[in-house]
Structure 1
């Protein structure tokens, strides 16, 4: 295990400020790759497999890759620090993007899935970055600092989908396979994030936080009583919210592709499809990240449980639009925007709740477990979503997702009562 890094309280504040800034910049770069993968993965899978029902495997592979690597990366962070875990995630993503481009060139669906799996493994590192923002954070600011890192993904996450059109045009000029041009931007962004973390994420926030606890500095502020029942509900709320978001979002590009062809009399070009898909996913990603600082501040002031429930209310609104207005492009855009907002509120508050409910010795382990379960559940949801879309259309997918929302709301009193009992 790597040695801890001792910090005095004043230096802790300075290091935390720099850590949040570095993580935020890294998330801007990582968001570019994430936006491209979300937008193009389903289209490439449908094209190479020849089946819309298999298009969900692209998103499933992304989440499965994240699920497989979440716990190993968390253990690596626990032993060696956040910096090494995050840079390894960047390396996974870089290799994955290269494989995806090659798979599209030789039209190999299995190889495409392998590449997307590796991109998902890289996304496990991006997910871990939000927890890294809480390692040195004061308890009253955990939600705020975590949400700033989540918010920073907005810049890259919105830019990525909007670059689909220019990326496709560039790809055609240099002879790249269809629907892969914007992955060039992903390669550049991931490489830049890799260098950033190596150079700027010093001292390591997790090792520094361990030094504070070990030496007794600010111990009363950073150490918390362990509350396993609250932690379990937080994991459930985060995983369930991610399932709702992924299930609907994964199938939206396919649904929009059909809409684009209908809008153009069955003769839509790839640019027509990517323009509609890119705009809609950009709105969705903006919803996921743009207001996360607001939700983080609300979670600090209102309490984590209230913001989790606010997220479920936003999900309900999104699924209502997906059910009643699924044949209107504007209606789908509104649905995806609300879907992103619901995810943001639920996951920001849920991650903060998990952190504050876990004692330091268990915190990193539970964070890795949360990310792993979240991704495994979403991978299964993405696979099933393809079949649901094929059998029951987009409206049926909205109904299926609503069942999960209802479950999170119904179980919320147990989480709230457990927290009160623990604190009382």
Structure 2
């Protein structure tokens, strides 16, 4: 089958597109289950592996910073490749790169080479970037009134793999030790395999390509070409959507990265840390269908404001949680994941609804670069803040940063109201 030609149902073009959209969402869901496991497994032990190899808590936030920096670089490449060759090629290439990075991390752990570890973590970040970029593919052919729900369908699929990955940290560590590999490198064996399987699913079954189909349909259906729309016409929406996702990513990554280290330093097991991260990842993705529905119904600016309030609550609870108790930390990390979910779905909706189709993939990639950079900043500074001021101080700083989402959304809503778009 030609990758750019949708199958005909014998009915109307709208029915054809509906069939294609259902198929695309199904394939994306399957690939996201695999990639979710790859993403979450590495998150669980990345900081612990660095702490073990470097012997320093102050540098334990470095892995998160490195693979989110790699995510920033990869977001550009995946976005541009998707714009030029379609989502199938862009996403599959991103996941294969993530699998290569996972293999490099394992090799670095075996050979105790910190430099190789750092380089491999940057490459591993491609999987993170691709996992997020996949959400845009779900919206390429969706009707405007259902775009947030299409995005949320792709996101929620990450839940199964995301919950499974951290809980396999201990078993994969045991398998790694049996193979002569350090225990903490075991989850990266899972990551590499999972990312490779996600790339395989997309390469074989993501046909027709949603972005290529949408581009061709747009070229024939519209009387006003997107080239007539200037970047300054949608710059405000791009800035608002970017700020929401940047702030939620910064707060989420910073607190999430140091939670396993905080728990480890207070005597909690790897399994307990894995459970807390699994709850966090579930909260990041599981509420997506409801978030998408609320975003389509009430608008992304209101949902973005709810994100800021939820992250505020998460930071305060994490700061006040007793260090010897797992339950309050689990609740705080669940709220942290929910706040991130609200911000990501709402911010994505703002970008997708604002940017014309011909510039969409390139702009989405550029936006995800800023999101990844904010995550890198959160990851790299979180260890330093904890080393100097403690975990509670980090959580409070994150809570205060989350509050800045509220004035941004207030300005956006007023502008929309003034333009008659409220």
TM-score (norm 2): 0.93
Aligned to 2:88: 83
* 1:335 counterpart residue number: 332
Per-residue CA shift, 1:191-247, capped at 9, x if unaligned? Answer: 211111111100100000001101117999xx9995321221011001111001001
* Within-5 A mapping of 1:210-359: 210-216=215-221, 227-260=234-267, 273-327=269-323, 328-359=325-356
- 1:133 CA drift (Å): 0.6
2:174 counterpart SS class: helix
Runs of 4+ in 1 over 6 A off after TM superposition: 217-220
Q: Size of the alignment, in residue pairs?
A: 410
CA distance in structure 1 between the partners assigned to 2:188 and 2:376 by the alignment: 22
Is the 2:127–2:195 contact (alpha carbons within 8 Å) kept by the matching residues of 1? no
1:259 Cα deviation after fit: 1.5
Q: Given the alignment of the two structures, is residue 142 of structure 1 paired with residue 138 of structure 2, yes or no?
A: no
SS at match of 1:53: coil
Which of residues 28, 37, 43 is equivalent to 1:38? 43
Equivalent residue number for residue 394 of structure 1:
391
**Structure 1 Cα separation of the partners of residues 223 and 128 of structure 2:** 32
Structure 1 residue 174: Cα displacement: 2.3
Aligned partners of 2:67 and 2:121 also within 8 Å: yes
- After superposition, give the CA deviation of every residue in 1:8-50 in whole Å (9 maximum; x if it has no partner): 3221111111111111111100011111110011011111111
In 1, Cα distance between equivalents of 2:108 and 2:411: 47
Q: Equivalents in 2 of 1:204, 1:398: separation in Å?
A: 42
Question: 2: CA distance between counterparts of 1:3 and 1:285?
Answer: 33
Name structure 2 gaps, 5 residues minimum.
8-12
SS in structure 2 at match of 1:141: helix
Q: CA RMSD in A?
A: 2.1
Task: Report what 2:113 is aligned to.
Answer: 108
1:411 and 2:408 correspond? yes
Cα distance change on mapping 1:219 and 1:200 into 2, 3 Å:
farther
1:163, 1:3 → 2: CA distance? 36
Alpha-carbon displacement from aligned partner over 1:235-283 (angstroms, at most 9, x marks no partner)? 100111100100100111110111226xxxxxxxxxxx21111001001
Distance 1:171 1:84 in 2: 32
Cα distance in 2 for partners of 1:224, 1:403 equals 37
Aligned equivalent of 1:55: 60
Which stretch shows the higher mean deviation, 291-300 or 211-220? 211-220
Q: CA deviation at 1:4?
A: 5.9
Q: Could you tell me whether the CA contact under 8 Å between 1:161 and 1:278 is conserved in 2?
A: yes
After TM superposition, give the deviation of residue 359 of structure 1 in Å: 1.5
Question: Which secondary structure does the structure 1 equivalent of 2:332 belong to?
Answer: helix
In 2, Cα distance between equivalents of 1:306 and 1:133: 22
User: What is the aligned partner in structure 2 of residue 268 from structure 1?
Assistant: none
Assess if the C-alpha contact under 8 Å between 2:6 and 2:16 holds in 1. no
- 2:103 alignment partner, one of 95, 98, 101: 98
User: Distance in 1 between the 2:278 and 2:296 partners?
Assistant: 28
Q: Secondary structure at the match of 1:416?
A: helix
* 1:227–1:419 contact (8 Å) kept in structure 2: no
Counterpart contact for 2:284–2:341, Cα < 8 Å: yes
Provide Cα deviations, 1:374-404, integer angstroms capped at 9, x if missing partner. Answer: 0011101211111110111111001211232
Alpha-carbon offset, residue 318 of structure 1: 0.7
- Native 8 Å contact 2:42 2:187 kept in 1: no
Distance 2:132 2:351 in 1: 14
Deviation at 1:84, TM superposition (A): 0.5
Deviates further, 184-193 or 53-62:
184-193
Q: Matched residues in 2 for 1:178 and 1:200: separation? A: 35
Q: Which residue of 1 aligns with 2:176?
A: 171
CA distance in 1, matches of 2:46, 2:3: 41
186-195 or 223-232, which moves further after superposition? 223-232
Change (3 A) 1:83 1:423: farther
Whether the 8 Å contact between 1:100 and 1:112 is mirrored in structure 2 is: yes
- Gap regions ≥5 residues in structure 1: 262-272
